[in-house]
């Protein structure tokens, strides 16, 4: 299950976003689903999601988008 960037953006500053992310993660865990949060841009967001039990993170903090060719070169 993916958590949209629009919820992740305010996870550290907006109680509603924190509550929604927490509920999504809890529901996905109970259903045995893998959880991916997208749009991680700072360490605080990553830390909160990690503490809530999020499995995987995506976003500029972890890596910028790259072209297919750049990725091929990186993996050679």
- Point out the residues that are catalytic: 38
Q: List the beta bridge partners of residue 3.
A: 37
Phi, psi angle pair for 61, to nearest 5°: -60, -35
Alpha helices in 1-76 (DSSP H): 5-8, 15-30, 43-52, 68-75
């Amino acid at each position: 299950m993916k958590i949209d960037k629009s919820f992740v953006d305010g996870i550290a500053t907006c109680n509603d976003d924190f509550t929604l992310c927490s509920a999504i993660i809890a529901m996905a865990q109970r259903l045995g689903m893998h959880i991916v949060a997208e749009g991680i841009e700072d360490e605080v967001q990553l830390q909160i999601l990690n503490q809530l039990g999020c499995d995987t993170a995506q976003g500029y903090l972890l890596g910028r988008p790259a072209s297919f060719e750049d990725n091929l070169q990186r993996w050679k």
